[in-house]
Amino acid sequence: MIGTTVDQRIRKLRAPKPWVDPWRAHGSLVEEERRPDGTIERALTVFLAGAECPYTCSFCDLWRWTIDGPTPAGALAWQLKEVLDATPPPIPDRVKLYNASNFFDQRAVPVQDLPAIATLAGRFASVTVESHARTVGPRTLELARMLSGNLEVAIGLETTHPVAMEHLNKRLSLTRFAQAAGFLADHAIALRVFVLLNPPYVPAQETVQWTVRAVEYAVRCGAAVVAIIPVRSGNGEMERLQALGHFTPPTLSALEDALDRCLKFAPAVVAADLWDAQRLATCPECSSTRIERLARLNLTGRAEPRIACSACGGQ
């Protein structure tokens, strides 16, 4: 899996990977999400355990949730069945199968497991899986044909900043991303996109501007939903880049700025990823209220005044 000097450096800086049980999902959660038509759907996200992504992105921290070696045949279907059996009714509208890797990489998702996974997902109106743009192709169509519901593929665009794209080690160009998006559109498969806030090599004073540009590009390529994800530290490489002045950790105010500026791209849904937004909090007086405002914007898509705070000035 380690193919370049950059890959080797990134991996050597990582802390030891925790042991992951390939027969047990990491967990699941049910959330409400807005769709481009304005409806609110309930989505069950299942965090599956499987093989690590073959790409070694500089910003990635998902590797710690993966196993060493390929995913055992039958493991993902077993994990999904356990989660579905434990999920109380009513059945959510959508299931998101996130395996911290690429769903169309046979090492991560054995091809012989697709029928069982599709059968288990058959109770949902829509199914979302994640993939690198370079693994979108025939297996994507194979899964789409097996599903009784609609398929959506989530792809990380991350940024359109030319220097940052070169240094992310993602092996992705704007042309390749557009090709994957066009392929999905040609086959009536929905596109969800991940965009980073504060990727390395983007100057801190320009990060909101470049995040908005990336969202705009994703929407032009047909994205129905775009999630803005603040970059996380903790993988060793991000600390190295920060020490060199190439990475500035994101702030809550930058996330607010980015989402506020991206509401104009409706009917596409642009949402802030608030999974661990508390790590961005610096003011005990207003941070929780500001995160609650972002959660409302995610659901309504309607602009709201920013939260005023005498303690920090909203920074």
Question: Mean pLDDT over residues 163-181, rounded?
Answer: 97
Cα dist. 81→24, 76, 78, 118 in Å? 10, 9, 5, 11
For the record, the structure tokens of 55 come out as: 């790409």
Query: How confident is the model over 20-44, as pLDDT tens digits?
Result: 999 999 999 999 999 999 999 999 9
- Cα angle 139, 25, 76 (rounded to 5 degrees) comes to 30
What distance lies between CA 57 and its chain's CA centroid? 13
Q: What share of the chain has pLDDT > 90, as a percent?
A: 96
**Mean pLDDT rounded to a whole number for the chain:** 96
Question: Mean pLDDT over residues 114-123, rounded?
Answer: 97
Residue 209 pLDDT greater than 50, yes or no: yes
Residue 140 lies in a domain: yes
- Cα angle 102, 18, 229 (rounded to 5 degrees) comes to 50
Question: Mean pLDDT over residues 99-121, rounded?
Answer: 97
Going by the DSSP 8-state scheme, the letter that residue 64 receives in this structure is G
Predicted local distance difference test score (pLDDT) of residue 101: 96
pTM: 0.96
Predicted local distance difference test score (pLDDT) of residue 311: 87
Residue 269 pLDDT greater than 50, yes or no: yes
Range of the domain at 267: 5-300
For the record, the structure tokens of 230 come out as: 């603040």
Residue 270 lies in a domain: yes
Question: Mean pLDDT over residues 280-304, rounded?
Answer: 96
Alpha-carbon span 118 to 135, nearest angstrom: 19
Residue 206 lies in a domain: yes
Res. 139 pLDDT band, cuts 50 70 90? very high
Residue 273 lies in a domain: yes
Question: Mean pLDDT over residues 88-97, rounded?
Answer: 97
Question: Mean pLDDT over residues 10-15, rounded?
Answer: 95
Predicted local distance difference test score (pLDDT) of residue 2: 45
Residue 311 lies in a domain: no
Residue 198 pLDDT greater than 60, yes or no: yes
For the record, the structure tokens of 2 come out as: 């380690």
Residue 168 lies in a domain: yes
Residue 190 lies in a domain: yes
In total, how many domains does the chain have? 1
Question: Mean pLDDT over residues 45-55, rounded?
Answer: 97
Q: Give the domain CATH number at 19.
A: 3.20.20.70
For the record, the structure tokens of 79 come out as: 């994990």
Residue 127 lies in a domain: yes
Residue 1 pLDDT greater than 60, yes or no: no
Q: What share of the chain has pLDDT > 70, as a percent?
A: 98
Strand, coil or helix: 246: coil
